[in-house]
Amino acid sequence: MNQKLKVVIIEDEKNICRFIETALIAESYKTFTAATALEGLSLITSQCPDMILLDLGLPDMDGIQVIRKIRQFSHTPVIVISARVQEEEKVTALDCGADDYITKPFGTSELMARIRTALRHSHQTDSSNSVYSCKDLMIDFEKRLITLGGEEIHLTQIEYKLVSLLARQAGKVLTYDYLMRQIWGPYSDNNNQILRVNMAHIRRKLESNPAEPEYIFTEIGVGYRMREE
Ligand code: CA
């Protein structure tokens, strides 16, 4: 790549920050690091990065508040770095505009894959992908056609909406709340049961073993993520 993509890393744990920075530099990204939310926000303003990695546990500001502040002025993808104890918070982070999350400890290949996915989605316009294709599954969004191994799969309207939302953002986790709001509207019940029931039906139709899905993965306590490749 000619022009290096810029990544702002906001993380107060020095070792983790250095680990991420080293991994990104090895992949030819240009990095800027901050140990506090305030430093991070000022770097985002001055550098206009292509990607933001944000630790949820910072000394000077609540992570959720940082995301809200970023989203007031920037659409740059944000990947949240969370500790296992921050389970609840990472869901809120996604619902407040973060694009994805990664849980400590993580490896470089997982981190790079998340970054590539988020970058790809940020550069994609809605109409750019008219087909989703992965292994035996093919979705033609224009024709509203789903085939599995060449055989047409019949989904109800809600099932189709759900699958196409996930497929259009394949690789990215979509939260239960986001899916509920997209499908059942802003006044939908907070109860995810209806979502789970629909997902169970979808899996019965798409997956050869619904207990070990190949296409739509459950992110426990968070939402669903569709396979990207
Ligand atoms: Ca921290």
Residues with CB under 5 A from ligand 1 (ion): 12, 55, 57
- Residue scoring higher pLDDT (128 or 199): 199
* Whole-angstrom distance, CA of residue 46 vs CA of residue 35: 16
Phi, psi angle pair for 219, to nearest 5°: -100, 105
Question: Has residue 1 got a pLDDT over 70?
Answer: no
| Average pLDDT estimate for 109-137 | 86
Question: Has residue 219 got a pLDDT over 70?
Answer: yes
How far does residue 220's CA lie from ligand 1's centre (Å)? Answer: 23
How far does residue 11's CA lie from ligand 1's centre (Å)? Answer: 6
How far does residue 59's CA lie from ligand 1's centre (Å)? Answer: 7
- What is the model's pLDDT at position 86? 76
How far does residue 169's CA lie from ligand 1's centre (Å)? Answer: 29
How far does residue 6's CA lie from ligand 1's centre (Å)? Answer: 22
With a pLDDT cut of 90, the percent of the chain lying above it is 80
55-104 residue pLDDT tens:
999 999 999 999 999 999 999 999 999 887 777 888 999 999 999 999 99
Question: Has residue 9 got a pLDDT over 90?
Answer: yes
Structure tokens at 188: 């939908």
Average pLDDT, rounded, for the chain: 92
Question: Has residue 125 got a pLDDT over 70?
Answer: no
Q: Which residues contact 187 (CB under 8 A, 6 or more apart)?
A: none
Q: What is the DSSP string of 140-176?
A: ETTTTEEEETTEE----HHHHHHHHHHHHTTTSEEEH
Q: Interhelix angle for 157-168 vs 193-206, to 10°?
A: 80
How far does residue 56's CA lie from ligand 1's centre (Å)? Answer: 6
- What is the model's pLDDT at position 96? 93
Question: Has residue 127 got a pLDDT over 80?
Answer: no
How far does residue 14's CA lie from ligand 1's centre (Å)? Answer: 9
- Write down the pTM of the prediction: 0.81
- What is the model's pLDDT at position 229? 75
Question: Has residue 133 got a pLDDT over 60?
Answer: yes
How far does residue 35's CA lie from ligand 1's centre (Å)? Answer: 9
How far does residue 201's CA lie from ligand 1's centre (Å)? Answer: 40
Asked whether the beta carbons of 164 and 179 are under 8 A apart, the reply is no
185 — pLDDT class (breaks 50, 70, 90): confident
| Average pLDDT estimate for 100-111 | 94
Question: Has residue 126 got a pLDDT over 60?
Answer: no
How far does residue 175's CA lie from ligand 1's centre (Å)? Answer: 23
Question: Has residue 190 got a pLDDT over 80?
Answer: no
How far does residue 105's CA lie from ligand 1's centre (Å)? Answer: 12
How far does residue 66's CA lie from ligand 1's centre (Å)? Answer: 13
Which residues partner with 146 through β-bridges?
A: 139
- What is the model's pLDDT at position 188? 76
How far does residue 190's CA lie from ligand 1's centre (Å)? Answer: 30
How far does residue 47's CA lie from ligand 1's centre (Å)? Answer: 22
How far does residue 218's CA lie from ligand 1's centre (Å)? Answer: 26
Sign of the Cα pseudo-torsion (169, 171, 172, 178, in order): positive
